[in-house]
Amino acid sequence: MIWILCALAVSCAAIYVNVKQLNKQKKTIHSIDDLTKGLSQKIVQSETVEIALRGLAKAIDEIEEQRIKADAFRQQL
């Protein structure tokens, strides 16, 4: 009986840790999406951290391209 209670306690702890990690990952994704939205003015909802980071990198690249074009235009004036 004690072994069953110990196994149940360990299982509950494992589930708690897993849920906590999933919540942290969702918050991370949401934060990255918010940053991307702020940079690119697009509504973004990613499903994974990797996808969210790719979107952020793309938004940064677009801003860099715009800056380069603006610098080139200024030099022509």
Q: How confident is the model at residue 12 (pLDDT cuts 50, 70, 90)?
A: very high
For the entire predicted model, the pTM comes to 0.63
Query: How long, in residues, is the chain?
Result: 77
CB neighbours of 63 closer than 8 A, spacing ≥ 6?
Answer: 39, 40
Residue 30: how many other CB atoms lie within 10 Å: 14
pLDDT tens readout for residues 16-35: 999 999 999 999 998 888 88
Tokens of 33: 């999406």
Q: Report residue 14's pLDDT band, with 50, 70 and 90 as the boundaries.
A: very high
Residue 3 is inside which H or E element, if any? Answer: helix 2-40
